[in-house]
Structure 1
């Protein structure tokens, strides 16, 4: 199955694109992503689509440094729930090891490895996209994001011994030198960051020993296995694809890198069909969206993937036993 990434991987994308004079909505729709969906940071989307989007955006903006510019806009919180835990780790080593070990919780594309040899620490970063897609922008986003994490722990003036990138140098390396300093090395053997191993022992200035136990307990409660089920992935992709109007089993199977029969087989093993998962996902979303008076029922109809409001009305009455308007009114009355 093809890997997924959290929406948070594109945090700041819309603002950056607009600042560079390109239309993010057009490019996102071109790769099958919903611009409105970016508001939900923890929703999972196709990693291959994100890689393609970054390359298209760099070409449209004529900026070879697009991925790195996006990395500059990343915040510590973009890592999701794991950020609450690593900020309470006692030192840089334990925080970084935790981040590497649980990378599947925020990015299934990412494969990183931390090693120590002869007094040097090397953080290697690779992306497993599953095909031969160009990944320059996504790699620079990942390396830039890790570099920011290290600076969060080691200070804004911290500088690596070397920041290695396997691709060639851009025509204008200004952004790379501003971000990494004069230590960036293009045409390297690997993508990643090299620094003194002793810096891994630096105490974490953000850590509060009194909170560490609570943070770990919280993390243990939410930590997920790398073996995410097909049912989980299908649900996530249905939520992403519904607003685009292209939510079909073929589209979901394509995003997962399998054929529709494989999706059917895995869902059947869980006692589900694609139609049942689609319907339950729509029902869950409707329960969240319909009570909100700021959203029109026509807008909600589109967000749930219906081709016309009349189709949404029929479906809603079948599921809830009344019209969406009446259901909204009852919920509003109960909340007063």
Structure 2
């Protein structure tokens, strides 16, 4: 079974589904945490917003620290439903066997979490659902890892017979120091300090069959999602612009950082943009202008807008506005 190749460092904000309710239960302000992690507030309510995966990791780490819940990511995973995967969920749920369902998830996972690659390895009597998460140099926290594999376990439990559990749950990170919900969610205690992150299944589980679905509808869905995946191969300007929009709130929107997120060198980034008659600095300012225009239409204060667009302060935003015209309601697509 194939891995899904991670195209960018972006992820759908659907991964934060349930975050607001969970944080609020600890009497914390979810919007304040989102701002601290330099995530747009809309990420907590709009599931299809593309944001930097590293910012989501920062948010989960902050939440775990402030709540004192070492298993915060797992508690968030406990609320997962297959619908959190968006269009992939319908295609995956219509597969005739667990093997084919996992193949769909592995193949199309990059549509949900760009830097996550999944693969199923079969050997002897077991099958291993293994994952690798590359956050472009940032250490992967236990919160992100447990959110991913806790969610995957919940998806499998939803389609298998009541009481199903993996043969083993493997995590590279060390065990928690206090009580957690690991046994409750996985129905067994994970092995910590392992060589990989993943779920170990009985190989026979892969052949469990599900109710048959309309093959014509299945074919239609397959073609639709293939089109979504191929749609990732857009122009370099579009790819770079997407990463810029995600990184501006983090304060780290530099050419070398954007290039690293796209898996290319800084020189290649500038060369490929030049081939499309586009300059990186101008593209940054165009994206910033679009965001500022949108934020000014709301009730945000200058210092809040400044943080969300990568400027240092309210005075920095005022200075920027004096030097840059804001886009019209339908801004031009030109960037040079």
Indicate the TM-score class for this superposition, using the shorter chain for normalisation.
Answer: 0.7 to 0.9
Helix, strand or coil: the match of 1:185?
coil
Larger-Rg structure: 1
Match of 2:217 in 1: 211
For the pair 1:254 / 2:257, whether they are aligned, the reply is: yes
Tell me if structure 1 keeps the 8 A contact 2:34–2:40: yes
Tell me if structure 1 keeps the 8 A contact 2:20–2:44: no
Match of 2:135 in 1: 129
For the pair 1:234 / 2:240, whether they are aligned, the reply is: yes
For the pair 1:35 / 2:35, whether they are aligned, the reply is: no
- Give the direction of change, closer, same or farther, for the CA distance of 1:240–1:129 in structure 2 (3 Å limit): closer
Structure-1-length-normalised TM-score: 0.77
Q: CA RMSD in A?
A: 3.7
Match of 2:3 in 1: none
Match of 1:97 in 2: 103
Helix, strand or coil: the match of 1:257?
helix
Match of 1:164 in 2: 170
- Give the direction of change, closer, same or farther, for the CA distance of 1:52–1:283 in structure 2 (3 Å limit): closer
Match of 1:327 in 2: none
- Give the direction of change, closer, same or farther, for the CA distance of 1:61–1:262 in structure 2 (3 Å limit): farther
Q: Distance in 2 between matches of 1:113 and 1:200?
A: 13
Q: Distance in 2 between matches of 1:203 and 1:34?
A: 42
Match of 1:297 in 2: 297
Task: State which of 224, 228, 242 in structure 1 corresponds to 2:230.
Answer: 224
Question: Displacement, 1:281?
Answer: 8.9
Task: State which of 152, 160, 182 in structure 2 corresponds to 1:176.
Answer: 182
Tell me if structure 2 keeps the 8 A contact 1:55–1:134: no
- The correspondence of residues 1-336 of structure 1 with structure 2, limited to 5 A, is 3-131=9-137, 133-205=139-211, 207-224=213-230, 230-240=236-246, 244=249, 250=254, 254=257, 257=260, 263-274=269-280, 275=282, 279=286, 297-299=297-299, 307=317, 315=326
Give the count of matched residue pairs: 311
Question: Displacement, 1:162?
Answer: 1.0
* Bigger mean CA deviation after superposition, 164-173 or 228-237: 228-237
Q: Distance in 2 between matches of 1:100 and 1:181?
A: 23
Question: Displacement, 1:95?
Answer: 1.3
* Bigger mean CA deviation after superposition, 62-71 or 102-111: 102-111
Q: Distance in 2 between matches of 1:168 and 1:59?
A: 16
Q: Which runs of 5+ in 1 are unaligned?
A: 290-294, 321-336
Question: Displacement, 1:195?
Answer: 1.4
Larger fraction in helix: 1
Structure-2-length-normalised TM-score: 0.77
Question: Displacement, 1:93?
Answer: 0.7
Q: Which runs of 5+ in 2 are unaligned?
A: 1-6, 332-336
Tell me if structure 2 keeps the 8 A contact 1:7–1:41: yes
Question: Displacement, 1:298?
Answer: 4.5
Listed one character per residue, the Cα deviations across residues 55-112 of structure 1 (whole Å, up to 9, x for unaligned) are 2221111111011011112221211222221122211111101211222221122122
Question: Displacement, 1:49?
Answer: 1.8
